Chains A and B, each alone.
Chain A
Amino acid sequence: MSISKNQLIWIGFVVPVLLACVWEWAIGSGLVSGRLMPPPSVIFKTLQELAKSGELQLHCVATLARVGAGFALGALAGTLIGAIAGASPFIRHLIDPTLQALRAVPSIAWVPLFILWMGIFETSKVALIAVGVFFPVYLGVAGAIIAIDRKLIEVGRVFRLTRWAMIRRVMLPAVMPAWIIALRSGLGLGFMFVVAAEFMGASEGLGFLLVDGQQMGKPAQILGAILTFAILGKLTDALLVLLSRPLLAWQDTVRESL
Chain B
Amino acid sequence: MLRLDALSKIYADGTEALQSVSLELGAGEIVALVGGSGCGKTTLLRLIAGLDTPSSGIIHVGSEEVRGPHAAVGIVFQEPRLLPWLTVAGNIGFGLEQLTTRERQSRIDHALDKVGLATYGGRWPRELSGGQQQRIAIARAFVTMPKVLLLDEPFSALDAFTRKSLHAHLLALWQETRPTILMVTHDVEEAITLADRVVVMRPHPGRLLETISVNQPRPRDVLAVGFDKVKRRTLHALDRSLQPEKQSAQAQGSDEFSHWW
Contacts and interface: CB of A to CB of B under 8 A. Distances in A.
Interface in B44-90: 49-51, 69-71, 74-75, 77, 79, 81, 83-87
B148 to A, nearest CB: 12
A159 B51 contact: no
Interface of B: 49-51, 69-71, 74-75, 77, 79, 81, 83-87, 94-95, 97, 124, 126, 144
15 contacts: A151-B77, A152-B81, A155-B81, A155-B83, A155-B94, A158-B51, A159-B69, A160-B69, A160-B71, A165-B97, A170-B83, A176-B85, A250-B85, A251-B84, A252-B126
A157 interface: yes
B83 A158 contact: no
B126 A157 contact: no
The residue in A158, A160, A250 that gathers the most chain B C-beta atoms within 10 A of its C-beta is: A158
A69 B86 CA distance: 34
A217 B258 CA distance: 85
A159 B124 contact: no
A106 B74 CA distance: 53
Interface in A124-173: 151-152, 154-155, 157-160, 165, 169-170, 173
Contact of A151 (B49, B79, B94, B97): B79
Nearest to A173: B85
Contacts of A251: 84
Contacts of A159: 69, 94-95, 144
The residue in A151, A155, A173 that gathers the most chain B C-beta atoms within 10 A of its C-beta is: A155
Contacts of B79: 151
A103 B121 CA distance: 46
A176 B85 CA distance: 10
Contacts of A170: 83
A36 B71 CA distance: 75
B85 A158 contact: no
Contacts of A151: 77, 79, 81
A147 to B, nearest CB: 14
A60 B201 CA distance: 72
A157 B52 CA distance: 11
Interface residues of A, number: 17
Interface of A: 151-152, 154-155, 157-160, 165, 169-170, 173-174, 176, 250-252
A187 to B, nearest CB: 23
A251 B51 CA distance: 29
B186 to A, nearest CB: 20
A65 B152 CA distance: 56
B169 to A, nearest CB: 20
B165 to A, nearest CB: 24
A118 B87 CA distance: 50
B144 A250 contact: no
Given A155-B94, A158-B51, A160-B71, A250 B84 contact: yes
Given A151-B81, A159-B144, A250 B75 contact: no
B49 A158 contact: yes
Contacts of B97: 165
A122 to B, nearest CB: 39
A158 B150 CA distance: 11
A159 B77 CA distance: 13
A158 B86 contact: no
Contacts of A169: 94
Contacts of B144: 159
Contacts of A250: 84-87, 124, 126
A152 B69 contact: no
B126 A158 contact: no
B84 A158 contact: no
Contacts of B87: 250
Given A159-B94, A173-B85, 12 more contacts: A151-B79, A152-B81, A154-B77, A155-B94, A157-B50, A158-B74, A160-B70, A160-B71, A165-B97, A250-B85, A250-B126, A252-B126
